[in-house]
Amino acid sequence: MSNNQDLVRAQQRITEFRRELAATPVEELDFERLELEVQGISDAVGLALMGDVFKRADTQSPTVKINGEQWGNRRVTPGTYTTVFGDIEVERSIYQRVGRGRVAVPMELRLGIVEKRYTRQMARIIGHSVAVMTAEDAAGFLEQVGTARVSSSTIHRVSSAMAANYESKRDEIDTDVRQADLIPQGAVTMQAALDGVMVPQDGEHCKPRGRRTTEPCSPRYQVRYELSPILGPAATNDGTGRMWHEASVGTVSFFDDKGFLLKTIYLGRMPESGKDTLVDQLHGEVMAALTERPDLTVCLASDGAPQHWTILSNMAAQLEVIRFGRQF
């Protein structure tokens, strides 16, 4: 069915809904049912209009250039994409280079499709939802909201793939984010803090461990992005219940001359021996801020964990060498 036909059907649903609503006695109004019906109509309209968007972003040219390389052998194939209004199937052009091999979909590149299926808005919603709740809770919440409805397995798969993609380009992405994230005006003090939080483990990290293994199971999402597995710290337990390991968290906060907090940068990593990756990120944030504002006063904070203060003391010594050419 064409997008125009879909839109006509949606408009007919609107007309029928308003007619039925006008004929329903006030005391018999089922508000919850009506709200869900309106939401369904809105999704139908949204999908019809998104079909126009996908069509407009496609190309009919026999050849295209992508990153300076010529692609040809144009074919038209169906593709399914997930939007905030639901799934939509569209016809799109695909291309190959001479000698065939993998295909390119210019429409996906133009629209920034994530994981060859999800719109950017969908990817943002999935990423944010799994950051604040479990995949199962997120799927249930989105179902209740009635927008961007996807399964818990989809949320887990997409967020894992996004994380793996980030890890493969972490240095590049972190640099771009730091350059765009300016230090607030009026800041005179920067505080770098380090802490930990216990988190339950699943998948390849859930088995009881009395010592580190030299051959851990590869994460399910390792194949596509070649994300190296991160070993959690050793843990001893009686083998019952769920395994918990210490994740690492860090903050870089900026204060004015009266001690008021102006801004905080938050960092977090899943369990890793020595907190090495988070420590590198924390040091990178501090050095980026000092490059922009070398006059900032730096202070360090943590709880009483000896490991944290060993790490922070080493960081302080490095900063002394870098800023003043001496150690203390």
pLDDT single digits (tens) 134-159: 888 999 999 988 888 899 999 988 88
Is residue 171 situated within a structural domain? Answer: no
Last residue of a domain, one of 142, 166, 190: 166
CA neighbor of 254 nearest in space, from 240, 265, 266, 244: 265
Q: Within this chain, do residues 197 and 150 fall inside the same structural domain, yes or no?
A: no
Q: Are 111 and 57 in contact (CB under 8 A)?
A: yes
307 found inside a domain = yes
Domain boundary among 123, 139, 166: 166
Q: What are phi and psi of 198, to 5 degrees?
A: -80, 130
Token pair 């990153």 is found at: 67
In order of 33, 163, 204, the CA distances from 224 in angstroms are 43, 12, 17
Residue 138 neighbours by CB distance under 10 Å: 24
The structural domain count of the chain equals: 2
Dihedral sign (CA 263, 269, 271, 274): negative
Range of the domain at 309: 176-324
Q: Which residue has the tokens 């050419």?
A: 325
Which position has the higher pLDDT, 93 or 145? 93
H/E stretch holding 55? helix 31-57
**What pLDDT does residue 98 have?**
76
Q: Are 323 and 213 in contact (CB under 8 A)?
A: no
Maximum alpha-carbon separation in the chain: 84
pLDDT tens column, 11-40: 999 999 999 999 999 999 999 999 999 999
Confidence of residue 5 (pLDDT cuts 50, 70, 90): confident
The single-letter DSSP state of residue 195 is E
What share of the chain has pLDDT > 70, as a percent?
Answer: 84
Q: Are 211 and 251 found together in one domain?
A: yes
119 and 242 housed in the same domain: no
The closest alpha carbon to 2, from 108, 78, 90, 106, belongs to 90
| Of residues 239 and 312, more confidently modeled | 312
Q: 256 and 136, same structural domain? A: no
147 and 284 part of one domain: no
In the listed set 118, 147, 166, which residue is the last one of a domain according to the structure?
166
